Amino acid sequence: MSHDLTPIPELYVSYESSQKLKLEAAELISHDLTPRQICDLELLMNGGFNPLKGFLGQADYESVVDNMRLADGTLWPMPITLDVSEGFAETIEIGQDIALRDQEGVILATMTITDKWVPNKPHEAEKVFGADDSAHPAVNYLHNTAGAVYLGGPVTGIQQPVHYDFRARRDTPNELRAYFRKLGWRKVVAFQTRNPLHRAHQELTFRAAKEAQANLLIHPVVGMTKPGDIDHFTRVRCYEAVLDQYPSSTTTMSLLNLAMRMAGPREAVWHGLIRKNHGCTHFIVGRDHAGPGKNSAGEDFYGPYDAQDLFRTHQEEMGIEMVDFKHMVYVQDRAQYEPADEILDKDNVTILNISGTELRRRLSEGLEIPEWFSFPAVVEELRKTRPPRAEQGFTVFFTGFSGSGKSTVANALMVKLMEMGGRPVTLLDGDIVRKNLSSELGFSKEHRDLNIRRIGYVASEITKNGGIAICAPIAPYASTRRAVREDVEQFGAFIEVHVATSIEECERRDRKGLYKLARAGKIKEFTGISDPYDVPENPELRLETESVPVDNCAHQVILKLESLGLIKG
């Protein structure tokens, strides 16, 4: 494959033009970009998504979804779209320019609107991700976070998003190409990762570089990855701790601000095209590359080698060669890592391996992580961010009908946890939050969602800072509870407790007289009467409160927290 390191097209205008555009953009309607859209825009502007010239129009979008190709036939597997709310879309006309701003209001680009349409999201989910299943994080995002309307059109770049972290490690495609030209690197193999590097990864990357007779680019993703992944600050510190294990003359590291979709086979092809734009000739494709885990039926979304098969089909057209990711295991008898499928005497040797789940367990319980598995410096960084579970913050989230006993049990739990001591405990009760955080909100679905998201935000901050948050709202909608779970699980454990008191019992109790008012039609959209309640399918704990003392209910939660290692028995 030819290695062309000439600069690739960027979408930025000159400095003088950008200053003029900034002034003119003050008159334009502005769209504040989401974190995912900022990642996409950065890679559009700097050429990482070459040949795209902006967010896809409808014809390109439909062709990409159905055929993995732009309307002109160019290979491109991932729809890059600007999703907006219906309200915003109504203010926009075709042919109009809008300003694209980051979350602080800084202008990054302007965009000329050529297309505006309402996509068929179930079809997009089915074709791009293989199933319209909300267990897939990108499908969940598509249905519950992304806007209802897509806008398409070319982008004019004014300035790149500002990153205050690891600035020396961030390179545009053209900066990496210039670096490779300067060093005379003719072959470069890229290693994509969203996890810390351990000894198996080091061995794998060494072998891949040797096999391709190439230099090595460690190219970790630091944009959006999978909910629950280790934050990129910790990961980059881990990568830096490992870098001195690599020969500096043949290895470099650069950070990629990509918002992953976890789309398996399509994602692998997409990653390959992005690395080609960054000047790489080879790309390591892993077993279950960019797989999101299990679907709703508990099975893997993609086969372990689907990504490799699809990449292999298109590698010649892409102009970047695949290096197979070998599953590396540690052979104790020979004190070295070897590809699992190449060990001929596997019945006569001791093979050791630690899965990601087992690693998380050892970290959470403060157990030893052997040196054959990881580097002491990496383990040290991970322990700083992931102390043993009994020292981490966590959130207990009660959900159930009005009058089910959530607040009463939550109060009892708070007192028991305070009695134990060790961590600050905060109760975010539905009524207290309504009074102090959400006094201006009504009871429409939109406002109730917003109220729960606020509770989730506060709970995630408490969890992040090592405290215990106890939440006791009704929280009737499963999608909103899931969003709160994702917010919290970035920083600690989330324990959903379904207070499963029947609607009949709640109505019989009716301490506040609300059911009576709802039956009389004086309260609209009342959960359980005139508005639905999504019963939690897999809560960590289900409490039956009818004829069970409050103290006993709270004690059940304490026992659950002990069994999860969150409090010491």
Catalytically annotated residues: 193-195
- Dist CA 443 CA 449 (whole Å): 9
What 3-state class would DSSP assign to 181?
helix
Annotated binding site for ATP: 400-407
Counting Cα atoms < 13 Å in the Cβ hemisphere of 366 gives 9
DSSP symbol at 223: S
- Dist CA 476 CA 531 (whole Å): 9
SS3 content of the chain, % helix, strand, coil (to 5): 40, 15, 40
Say if residues 174 and 45 touch (Cβ distance below 8 Å).
no
In our burial notation (b when 16+ CB lie closer than 10 A, e otherwise), range 254-289 reads bbbbbbbbbbbbbbbbbbbbbbbbbbbbbbbbbebb
- Dist CA 190 CA 169 (whole Å): 15
Locate tokens 């030819």: which residue? 2
CA 19 to each of CA 26, 60, 564: distance values in angstroms, whole numbers, following the listed order: 12, 32, 55
Say if residues 56 and 189 touch (Cβ distance below 8 Å).
no
Strands (E) across 92-184 are located at 97-101, 107-112, 115-117, 149-157
In our burial notation (b when 16+ CB lie closer than 10 A, e otherwise), range 41-51 reads bbbbbbbbbbe
Measured between its terminal Cα atoms, the distance across the chain in Å is 61
Q: H or E element: which one contains 15?
A: helix 15-25
- Dist CA 528 CA 161 (whole Å): 46
- Dist CA 218 CA 243 (whole Å): 9
- Dist CA 373 CA 335 (whole Å): 11
Q: What is the biggest distance separating any 2 CA atoms in the chain, rounded to whole angstroms?
A: 80
**Closest CA relative to residue 37, chosen from 67, 96, 79, 9:** 79
**Closest CA relative to residue 529, chosen from 429, 443, 439:** 443
**Closest CA relative to residue 194, chosen from 137, 125, 135, 141:** 137
- Dist CA 350 CA 330 (whole Å): 8
